[in-house]
Copies of this chain bind each other. A is one copy, B any other.
Amino acid sequence: MTHPRSIVFLTDYGLADEFVGICHGVMARIAPEAKVIDLTHAITRQDVLQGALVLARAGPYLPDRAVYVAVVDPGVGSDRRAIAVETGSGAVLVGPDNGLLSMAWEALGGARRAFEITAESLMLPTLSKTFHGRDVFTPLAAHLAAGVSIEDVGPQIDVADLEVVELPAPMVAPGKVGARVVAVDGFGNVQLNVRPEDIQRAGLGDRLSVHGRSAPRVSVFADLHEHALGVIVDSQGYVALVVNQGSAAELLELRPGGTVVIE
């Protein structure tokens, strides 16, 4: 293979420290020709579910057969396993075995084979107890991108034994959908764990309300008056609460993990 595979990199490290830069250095040493795409480093600290969601939804927009390396890892240094998972689509996912990768492999054709990462020759000699992003995960991803076989990272393990995380489903009743806030973006748009078909199953139409406020269903922001609340289907196909030229999260005082009832 002439060209190395692309690497997709997601963490909760933030950009206030040099952690992400150090990992880029590590990958550049091992696979200097590989393109590294920073998906995001702003996952809420140790929020494995949020990381899993972002990773899974990004798949269609990322290079095929990429090597994904994701680190949201509250259990670093404990006995949680480090894993590499090959998906049905030919991508490889690298990270801790805490469910972080599980939604992504579902979105990428399923987990075809999984391996526990144990080969010390593919890790850094500085192997620390606290920074496996630098010492275990990104070096391994770079080796895989550069052509190392997934079979060389360690013993194969049963995909049925891997940890998974799941998004709770909304509660749908006649005239009501009980929803959970999945994410709030930088514009204050509130993404819910609700699909348009859930609204329909509840028998609701376009005249919705949230917390006693009118929230008409619209197709674009510009259909709302300035500063008015509305419901749209967002760019990922989920129902979201939005305010035209404003923040729905602020207006409704909602944060990720919060609950809301659409009526």
Contacts and interface: CB of A to CB of B under 8 A. Distances in A.
A222 B21 contact: no
Interface string A202-229: 0000000000000000011110000000
Given A32-B6, A222-B78, A130 B63 contact: no
Contacts of A64: 29
A74 B221 CA distance: 9
Size band of the interface chain A makes with B: 35 or more
Contact of A42 (B10, B17, B28, B131): B17
A28 B219 contact: no
Interface of A is mostly: loop
A156 to B, nearest CB: 26
A58, A64, A129 pick with most chain B CB within 10 angstroms: A129
A245 B63 CA distance: 34
Contacts of A185: 16-17, 19
Given A28-B63, A75-B222, A22 B39 contact: yes
Contacts of A186: 13-14, 16-17, 19, 45
Contacts of A131: 234-235
B21 A219 contact: no
13 contacts: A8-B25, A10-B21, A15-B40, A18-B58, A24-B38, A25-B63, A29-B61, A46-B245, A75-B222, A76-B220, A78-B222, A128-B235, A129-B232
Given A21-B58, A77-B221, 5 more contacts: A15-B41, A16-B186, A22-B62, A25-B58, A128-B235
The list of the 3 closest CB pairs from A to B, nearest first, reads: A77-B220, A131-B235, A78-B222
